[in-house]
């Protein structure tokens, strides 16, 4: 018997193309359309940040007010309705909280009221579902920002017949961001005192909104099988491994896909010349254009090694800084596009000044430039300390830039080294997080680059690999059915 389509309410703090700081936005920009293509009714709720209107055009605020009770206050909000690939996107309009220059903070400092900002998003999403008379089979919440969705559902609305059949899935895109706030915040979020204990939301005498999601959702998943195993160990569990182990069979690892329409060198308007696996001549032009744009020495032979990344300790920036001079004694050019930790920004910019014409550090968030870098590069470096899934390496594969990665989390699941898996290798992997290992991996990659036939095989395999969202979306549907007991 064919299974009935599901009604899915997705709640997230960012989604491409409306607002993006990292991979979460890519996932939220791709998973809902993939679910819709499978026949499900999906709707997305996210904040109306300052920059969203530039993408959507001016959407009018709703006439109907959304009344959101939270922490003894009733917030009177509007919402705006937009679209993503024909599915409705509801933007919560609360200028007091979302009309700011950035999503989460400025100059490396989080906004002090982030708990209220995202608690409100979580609570508002539930009220909006009711206002729209959209009773979801499942609410899918993502990361600490929406970790309170399952708590509000289970502890405040459990008697509400509207939500009687609603289950919840909580996805961990990064365990490193735990949404930790002072205990006193609980009151403003409308959380009962009875929830604030070690078996509830309490985390080292404070409260954690990530823990809330993990603890109270019907099912929990993270974004790769290896990361799913890793976070259940004390080494990678950041204090939550016990709780994660206790969720047992309700904790799953599901690899992200990559949107082949949004990320395709054959259709990317940001490139000077498109290319595909059947005709790679455009890639050489992209490389030349990149060298020209960045003021690198113009040389078709020299391999360009790049990083496109948040500048965060998670991403292995320390290892790159430590290895800087040794990397640059090799015959290569190095390009880093990133923003984040001001200390890393300063150190990287300074390190680049010693290698004019060979190394370039670009400290900004620039989607079009990132695409020119993926396309113009030969090697994509991703030495993350830990990596839940990672999209950078998947985009690189698609653009024919061969990844060199640390064997962790989703990087270990998606990149296969010729030394281990000769027949389906697509990149280079180094084991322990150490300078010597990174350099050995780099040398293996460079010696392969020097053998064009061998190199082209790697490039070809990466570019033709199936990473569609369709199979990931099918995996999510299975989890949704578990949440609704239709598994």
- Residues of this chain that bind ligand ADP (CB under 6 A): 22-24, 26, 308-310, 337-339, 365-367, 370, 390-392, 395
User: In whole angstroms, how close is the CB of 138 to ligand ADP at the nearest point?
Assistant: 24
Computed over its alpha carbons, how large is the radius of gyration of the chain?
23
Closer CB to ligand ADP, 6 or 336, in the complex: 336
User: In whole angstroms, how close is the CB of 384 to ligand ADP at the nearest point?
Assistant: 8
How far apart CA 333 and CA 327 sit, in angstroms, is: 9
Q: What are phi and psi of 374, to 5 degrees?
A: -55, -45
Give bridge partners of residue 338 from the DSSP assignment: 309
Give kind and range of the element (H or E) at residue 406: strand 402-406
User: In whole angstroms, how close is the CB of 366 to ligand ADP at the nearest point?
Assistant: 5
How far apart CA 414 and CA 76 sit, in angstroms, is: 46
How far apart CA 461 and CA 416 sit, in angstroms, is: 11
Closer CB to ligand ADP, 89 or 223, in the complex: 223
Closer CB to ligand ADP, 128 or 223, in the complex: 223
Dihedral sign computed on CA atoms, order 342, 346, 349, 351:
negative
CB-based burial, 74-85: b 16+ in 10 Å, e otherwise: ebebbbbebebe
How far apart CA 40 and CA 481 sit, in angstroms, is: 12
Closer CB to ligand ADP, 283 or 398, in the complex: 398
User: In whole angstroms, how close is the CB of 359 to ligand ADP at the nearest point?
Assistant: 16
Closer CB to ligand ADP, 154 or 310, in the complex: 310
User: In whole angstroms, how close is the CB of 351 to ligand ADP at the nearest point?
Assistant: 17
The dihedral over CA atoms of 110, 189, 223, 108, expressed in degrees to the nearest 10, equals: 0
Q: Nearest-CA neighbor of 247 among 139, 163, 149, 170?
A: 170
User: In whole angstroms, how close is the CB of 310 to ligand ADP at the nearest point?
Assistant: 4
CB 48 within 8 A of CB 92: yes
User: In whole angstroms, how close is the CB of 295 to ligand ADP at the nearest point?
Assistant: 18
Pairing, β 180-181 against β 206-208: antiparallel
User: In whole angstroms, how close is the CB of 336 to ligand ADP at the nearest point?
Assistant: 9
Closer CB to ligand ADP, 323 or 370, in the complex: 370
User: In whole angstroms, how close is the CB of 85 to ligand ADP at the nearest point?
Assistant: 18
User: In whole angstroms, how close is the CB of 221 to ligand ADP at the nearest point?
Assistant: 16
Closer CB to ligand ADP, 333 or 339, in the complex: 339
Closer CB to ligand ADP, 202 or 293, in the complex: 293
Q: Which residues contact 407 (CB under 8 A, 6 or more apart)?
A: 429, 430, 431
How far apart CA 98 and CA 77 sit, in angstroms, is: 12
How far apart CA 105 and CA 118 sit, in angstroms, is: 13
**Nearest residue to ligand ADP, by Cβ distance, number only:** 23
Closer CB to ligand ADP, 120 or 381, in the complex: 381
Burial-class residue 199 by CB neighbours within 10 Å (0-12, 13-18, 19+).
Answer: exposed
Closer CB to ligand ADP, 21 or 78, in the complex: 21
Specify the long-range contacts of residues 434-441, CB closer than 8 Å, at least 24 apart. Answer: 434/319, 435/319, 435/322, 435/323, 435/326, 438/319, 438/323, 438/383, 438/406, 439/323, 439/326, 439/327, 441/404
């Amino acid at each position: 018997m064919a299974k009935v389509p599901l009604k899915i309410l997705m709640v997230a703090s960012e989604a491409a193309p409306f607002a993006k700081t990292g991979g979460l936005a890519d996932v939220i920009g791709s998973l809902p359309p993939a679910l819709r293509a499978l026949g499900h009714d999906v709707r997305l709720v996210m904040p109306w940040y300052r920059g969203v209107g530039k993408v959507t055009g001016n959407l009018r605020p709703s006439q109907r007010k959304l009344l959101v009770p939270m922490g003894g206050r009733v917030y009177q909000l509007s919402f705006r309705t937009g679209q993503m690939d024909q599915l409705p996107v509801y933007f919560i309009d609360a200028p007091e909280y979302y009309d700011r220059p950035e999503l989460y903070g400025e100059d490396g400092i989080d906004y002090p009221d982030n708990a209220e900002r995202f608690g409100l998003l979580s609570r508002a999403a539930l009220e909006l579902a009711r206002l729209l008379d959209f009773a979801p089979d499942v609410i899918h919440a993502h990361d600490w920002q929406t970790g309170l969705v399952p708590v509000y559902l289970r502890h405040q609305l459990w008697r509400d017949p509207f939500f009687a059949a609603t289950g919840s899935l909580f996805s961990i895109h990064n365990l490193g961001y735990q949404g930790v706030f002072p205990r006193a915040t609980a009151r403003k979020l409308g959380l009962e005192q009875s929830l604030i204990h070690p078996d509830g939301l309490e985390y080292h005498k404070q409260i954690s909104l990530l823990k809330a999601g993990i603890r109270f959702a019907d099912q929990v998943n993270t974004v790769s099988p290896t990361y799913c195993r890793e976070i259940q160990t004390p080494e990678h569990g950041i204090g939550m491994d016990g709780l994660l182990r206790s969720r047992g069979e309700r904790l799953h690892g599901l690899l992200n896909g990559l949107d082949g329409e949004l990320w395709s060198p054959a259709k990317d308007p940001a490139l000077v010349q498109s290319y595909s696996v059947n005709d790679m001549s455009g890639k050489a032009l992209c490389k030349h254009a990149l060298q020209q744009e960045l003021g690198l020495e113009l040389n078709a032979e020299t391999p360009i090694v790049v990083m496109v990344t948040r500048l965060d300790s998670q991403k292995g920036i320390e290892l790159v800084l430590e290895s800087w001079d040794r990397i640059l004694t090799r015959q290569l050019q190095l390009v880093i596009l990133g923003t984040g930790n001001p200390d890393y920004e300063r150190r990287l910019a300074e390190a680049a000044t010693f290698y004019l014409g060979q190394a370039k550090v670009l400290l900004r968030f620039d989607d079009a430039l990132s695409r020119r870098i993926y396309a113009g590069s030969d090697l994509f470096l991703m030495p993350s300390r830990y990596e839940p899934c990672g999209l950078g390496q998947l985009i690189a594969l698609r653009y024919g830039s061969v990844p060199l990665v640390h064997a962790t989390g989703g990087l270990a699941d998606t990149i296969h080294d010729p030394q281990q898996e000769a027949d389906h290798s697509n990149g280079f992997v180094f084991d322990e997080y150490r300078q010597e290992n990174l350099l050995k991996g780099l040398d293996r990659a460079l010696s392969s680059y020097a053998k064009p036939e061998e190199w082209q095989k790697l490039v070809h395999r990466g570019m033709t690999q199936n990473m569609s969202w369709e199979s990931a979306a099918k995996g999510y549907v299975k989890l949704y059915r578990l949440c609704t007991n239709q598994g």
